[in-house]
Amino acid sequence: MVKKFLKNALAPFQYIRRKTRPWRRRRHELERRLLEVEKVTRSMVHLYAWDLRQKVLAEPRYLEEKRLPRFGFKAYSQNEEDGILQEIFRRIGTSNKTFFEIGVGNGLENNTLYLLVQGWRGFWVDGNPEYIDYIHQKFTIALSNGTLKVKHSWVQRDNINQLIAEGQEDSKDLDLLSLDIDGNDYHVLEAIDLLNARVVVVEYNPKYRPPVKWVMEHNPNHSYDGSSDYLGASLKSFEILLSAKGYKLVGCNLLGANAFFVREDLVKNHFLDDCSAENHYEPERFFLKDGLVPLHAANFGPFQKK
């Protein structure tokens, strides 16, 4: 009786299932084809962005021998910072291959991981506890052998000098300082008492073209949510600030995100004579990032040098 009852009760559902089977098959086929279209479209976007990037770099401005954007490439950096940093240090050399980076994310996309892979040593700071936990899991070997140190800290202008002192405990010389905290970058940089790194990389706000001077009002509670361009400072403001600290602006990346400064005693004739924001400013071209997307997602693990 129970089986017969269940059979009668389920009969309408089985009837509907039989009748809708062709529709479900069509839906699965449509989903499969849409995924294929998505893959093709994504590939076309990447190819178009890459082609457009090459066309921009073919302009006379970028063919100047000492201009940096054409040297850019992405290994672990967010944009082309890996290549530009490689070229800068090729020109000026290194002291002891040390870095200090603030705002490293989960460690797999920043300005210094590619240097770590090449035998550099350094200190990472980030304010997101989840990122720090991930770094402790992913970079166990580098952390255990002392080539990398990491600290969870919400970087402010009143603790930046303490953090730098902690990061430089093994050496007074620093090759690279990279700062990207999407907000109070200018104020943190301004608060550094003794800035002696050979190279400083800082994210600027491309909305404000030279000669505009613009600095986000200091807000210790500011947190970037990705929905606003109210952050950081203009390139001109960073040029003036770092010039007072003994640095020259030597270039920006093509996407209009990061600016590169070299300590003035190292500039010599390695870079363009005009170190102004007006000469080096790059507008926002974030759409070109599609041309830098790698085939595989970034990862890190044990490796050998041989």
- Give the C-alpha separation, 104 to 301, whole Å: 17
Q: 164-198 pLDDT, tens per residue? A: 888 776 556 899 999 999 899 999 999 999 899 99
What is the rounded average pLDDT of the residues 213-223? 91
Q: 256-292 pLDDT, tens per residue? A: 999 999 999 999 999 999 999 999 999 999 888 877 7
CA distances in angstroms from 237 to 89, 177, 186, 197, listed in the order given:
25, 18, 8, 19
Q: 45-72 pLDDT, tens per residue? A: 778 888 889 999 999 999 999 999 999 9
Share of the chain above pLDDT 90, in %: 69
Give pTM, 2 decimals.
0.87
Pair 242, 189: CB distance under 8 Å: yes
List the single range of 90-94, 242-246, 262-266, 301-305 with lowest mean pLDDT: 301-305
Residue 241 has pLDDT above 60, yes or no: yes
